[in-house]
Chain A
Amino acid sequence: MANAALSIKNLHVSYYGNEAVKEVSLTVHPGNLVGIIGPNGAGKSTFLKAMLNLIPRDKGEIKLLGKTVKEVRKKIAYVPQRNDIDWDFPITVLDAVLIGTYPNLKLFKRPNKKDKEWAMECLRRVGMEDFSKRQIGELSGGQQQRVFLARALAQKAELFFLDEPFVGVDVSSEETIVRILKELCWQGKTVIVVHHDLSKANDYFNQLILLNKELIGFGSVQEVFQTEIIEKAYQGQFAFMKEIGV
């Protein structure tokens, strides 16, 4: 049997002794488009960063493609939250995408013409080729997100991790992004997305990880997208919504 794309055993993460992620175990197989959903402060981004070894974990084992994170780093593409980026940075759209080729370049090597053509090709896939010479801050939110998706494509990765890619994004960019993520999954890649909004979760993903510090639900969208399970994760916030008569 092929290796699982992602397998997590008994993951615990804390900030200064406060538990942020508690006892999470799950296995995702290649070719899935997985949404991580949960209320504010549920530890979604923390969970994502812990999976990539970007923050220390207290306990637990993480295997990506059957190996440790360290061994497969170059097969991982990570797209940060949009407000983690300095959009005034002096860099053009094409150069930002070109960074996606860096993980596969040797030390001291610069991207060559072929790499630049590949970066341009990735920009074309997200429909941003006409903007290649713009400074990244001159783009709209949706266009910026598409550029970062192009950068992830340029990495030729097997695993894609995206943190809140649909925040502040226009409808047409959103459609483009979802279409490309689905294409990646058809090609057998695995895509993990932190998603804030419940409304479209069942259209976008085929699997869901429902998180509120601990794992509330995991499985196909049909299995997890049940009122009782969702309410369990969003307990406090749902009560509040009822009070104000939503």
Chain B
Amino acid sequence: MEKIINDFSIGLFFWQVVLFIALLLLLRKYAWNPILNAVNDREEGIKNALLEADKARQEMENLKSDNEKILKEARIERDTMLKEAREIKNNMITEAKDQAKDQANKIIEQAKVSIQNEKISAIADMKRQVANLSINIAEKVVKEQLSDEAKQLKLVENLLKDVKLS
């Protein structure tokens, strides 16, 4: 112990303290601070770059999903438009058909009515002609039958026989 104290060199202690502090101050100014700052900056840079890359990727993904959404919407719209067109077409066809049918029915109806009228008038005409014909025939028959006196009298007699005095 005494030997250790005896061998302790104050001069070396002094130089070690002085040189070490000098080295510390010099290195702090010219080495450690620049190195640590550079490393810090680099780390920050890497972190920021990674963050930005992440953001960009997120944006890309958003864009992609947006695109997909738009595409999907467009597809849906196209589908609905097609469907609507088809419906309109069908409606138009049915409407046209209905209208045509109505028209046809109306025409048929009118035709029936006019046919009926024609028939009635024809029948009436026929009746008039038959009546005329009958009258003419009857006239001729009567004229024939009543061409002599004897027959006129007989007729009167027969008519009178039918007539009952009331």
Do A and B interact with each other, yes or no? no
